[in-house]
Structure 1
């Protein structure tokens, strides 16, 4: 059967595949048992402008109704506002790099749409909320010496803005500060007015740090990181990690987190083979990275507003073999949950060679980024059950 390779899919195709769990009277039905899908590719018309895809769509976000896709170009510090219903570049919104309304001249780690067409920009030097006119309407720069955060580690305070999320009333922020080598094991809750707060432990994410690899030698320094996702979906916050199927959920303003753990049958529930985390040569670095990548890894949560279901992709990369430059290929799996994160089913999708890139649900279909001859495109998958 022909494989689909994201993000270079162009043709429209149709496939089906069955899950391995059989439903019985004593066993919950696997809703993905007869899963199938069709897929089409759509391309955005940029008009006379250029949409820079040199970094893919890493700095992208959506408005509340999924009608517009906002893609930040850090080379020009402008946001490309893309109309997803008409598939056109509707507007390019400029921002300053420096000065009182500057978004930052160095690496910007976060660029995110906020309700009312405001934007959150964050870097190691500064953070803030900006309106569409490019004016900073709220300074979110958090200096360690000005903060009183109960339980915050000394090393973590310098990474306090990592994965920053703000409550709807803009009075509190949450973030995932972490040690450079150990990763993230705490959730920080900060009151913006008093500059005080506390950290909440997220021990289920400690395993993510166990698969962080540091190469440090006289010639080079490199680091391999398994991702932690901090998402806001349907008015609630979710924390998940690539190395485990566990998920934390909590509501803005609350101090208590609810942990969800699952027992999958098609794949392990987390990575199981330990790796060497500090190495001194590129050969060791690539070997340990391969050991991590060829174990199960999980993507961020996806929520379909029409069916009120969550989905999550998983993947196990194939070994690189003798050609380290060969495109990565993986076994791809899909897991389904209801809106309360009750597990509904699982399946392998042999037609896919990679998980969909920067995916989101719109109008009941899964959209994901594809590059079509250096033009912005989306592969649109229609799930069937």
Structure 2
């Protein structure tokens, strides 16, 4: 199948001028969105990337390659993002000395030319782009959790740009801990990075203690974004950001005010429920408040894009719809553009990357891998 592109232009006015302290003179005060769709040439192969969305993908640091981990078929699908076509499909060993792990369920990029296959029980296999094993990491090593066991089990969050440091969250469902742990893999040292302004995450946790010892829970995310040499830490319940500056080794708390949406969730909810039905009911109520996505860096236009959304009350027999919004931030994390995008995007926005100044939203188009490409035009 050849690469197909089709599109149209949608014009909006940005809604940044709602408050007196909003500046309307910047280049994104009024902007338009041009939109087209590109279908990835699958070379007559069945691409599982069309089915999985963003749960098991990794994009190379130069934005030229996208990797999709097909867990069931044990295949690594490599997409050439320059040509928008399947480059190769690599059969991956799961078991044995060269295996990435029988329970490897997700991949993430590491530095410029490596991948991390994440497995259950804290096991991580580092490979090259051909899935050849280079290193193994176990998050259950004693030195990693010694002295901080009470904070909860370590859960992978991300790597530093050079891959020498690994960042983890603490998994504790009875009360969320929003601090993160930085592990220096070469020196075998660690430090806890406190994020006190994210402590309200626990207000939006819902836990169901299942009879017999099991547990089910929903809770706000902890999001990790590499930006240049730095790290951005965020969560979906509020728009504020922690900026970890690697050169100065400083942690900066960044805030901005949205005009079209609240800056954060604000409702009061029951944290502990007694049934699956109660859990689903409370979780639905929380989703109907504002939710914030990851920050997406546009290296061409030198701005961040950030989607937000809230679920609309479901009408019987109708598909669940969302109100969606797009915010644009400059390099100083100041809001310079904002608009509602519900006419374009009525589902939860699923951007996978920004390339050549275009936001690429994942799309399954008749079981083919495709992308809706949004270009922001000032």
State if a TM-score over 0.5 links the two structures: yes
Tell me the secondary structure at the aligned position of residue 19 of structure 1. Answer: coil
Match of 2:281 in 1: 287
Pair 1:72-2:72 in alignment: no
How far, CA to CA, are the matches of 1:59 and 1:360 in structure 2?
14
Q: Any conservation in 2 of the 1:167–1:253 contact (CA below 8 Å)?
A: no
Match of 1:206 in 2: 199
Distance 1:117 1:77, change over 3 A: farther
Q: Specify every segment of 5 or more residues in structure 1 that has no aligned partner in the other structure, as ranges.
A: 1-9
How far, CA to CA, are the matches of 1:47 and 1:86 in structure 2?
12
How far, CA to CA, are the matches of 1:336 and 1:181 in structure 2?
36
Q: Within 5 A, what are the aligned runs for 1:210-221? A: 210-218=203-211
Match of 1:250 in 2: 244
Give 2:189's match in structure 1, choosing from 175, 188, 196: 196
Question: Which protein is richer in strand relative to its size?
Answer: 2
Pair 1:51-2:47 in alignment: yes
How far, CA to CA, are the matches of 2:280 and 2:33 in structure 1?
35
Give 1:347's match in structure 2, choosing from 339, 349, 368: 339
Q: Any conservation in 2 of the 1:245–1:269 contact (CA below 8 Å)?
A: yes
Distance 1:26 1:356, change over 3 A: closer
Q: Within 5 A, what are the aligned runs for 1:220-239? A: 222-239=216-233
How far, CA to CA, are the matches of 2:21 and 2:167 in structure 1?
42
Tell me the secondary structure at the aligned position of residue 164 of structure 1. Answer: strand
Report the alpha carbon displacement of residue 373 of structure 1 after superposing the two structures with TM: 0.6
How far, CA to CA, are the matches of 1:215 and 1:143 in structure 2?
26
How far, CA to CA, are the matches of 2:159 and 2:136 in structure 1?
14
Give 2:8's match in structure 1, choosing from 13, 17, 20: 13
Give 1:42's match in structure 2, choosing from 38, 45, 48: 38
Q: Any conservation in 2 of the 1:93–1:132 contact (CA below 8 Å)?
A: no
Tell me the secondary structure at the aligned position of residue 162 of structure 1. Answer: strand
Give 1:95's match in structure 2, choosing from 92, 97, 116: 92
Pair 1:370-2:370 in alignment: no
Report the alpha carbon displacement of residue 206 of structure 1 after superposing the two structures with TM: 2.1
Report the alpha carbon displacement of residue 286 of structure 1 after superposing the two structures with TM: 2.3
Pair 1:129-2:123 in alignment: no
Q: Any conservation in 2 of the 1:167–1:173 contact (CA below 8 Å)?
A: no
Report Cα offsets for 1:185-212 as digits up to 9, x if no partner.
1121112244331211112222223212
Report Cα offsets for 1:128-186 as digits up to 9, x if no partner.
31123433212221224343555x34252x2x242131451x43222222313433411
How far, CA to CA, are the matches of 2:323 and 2:357 in structure 1?
25
How far, CA to CA, are the matches of 1:301 and 1:184 in structure 2?
22
Q: Number of residue pairs matched?
A: 369
Report Cα offsets for 1:320-364 as digits up to 9, x if no partner.
2334xx432111111111112122132222312134313321101
How far, CA to CA, are the matches of 2:104 and 2:244 in structure 1?
30
Pair 1:104-2:91 in alignment: no
RMSD: 2.5
The one of the two structures with greater contact order (alpha-carbon pairs below 8 A, sep at least 6) is 1
Distance 1:172 1:254, change over 3 A: farther
Tell me the secondary structure at the aligned position of residue 34 of structure 1. Answer: coil
Report Cα offsets for 1:43-81 as digits up to 9, x if no partner.
112113221144323111212222221111111232211
Match of 2:310 in 1: 316
Q: Any conservation in 1 of the 2:173–2:217 contact (CA below 8 Å)?
A: no
Match of 1:360 in 2: 353
How far, CA to CA, are the matches of 1:218 and 1:72 in structure 2?
35
Pair 1:28-2:23 in alignment: yes
Q: Any conservation in 2 of the 1:33–1:347 contact (CA below 8 Å)?
A: no
Report the alpha carbon displacement of residue 38 of structure 1 after superposing the two structures with TM: 1.8
Tell me the secondary structure at the aligned position of residue 207 of structure 1. Answer: helix
**TM-score, normalization: structure 1?**
0.87
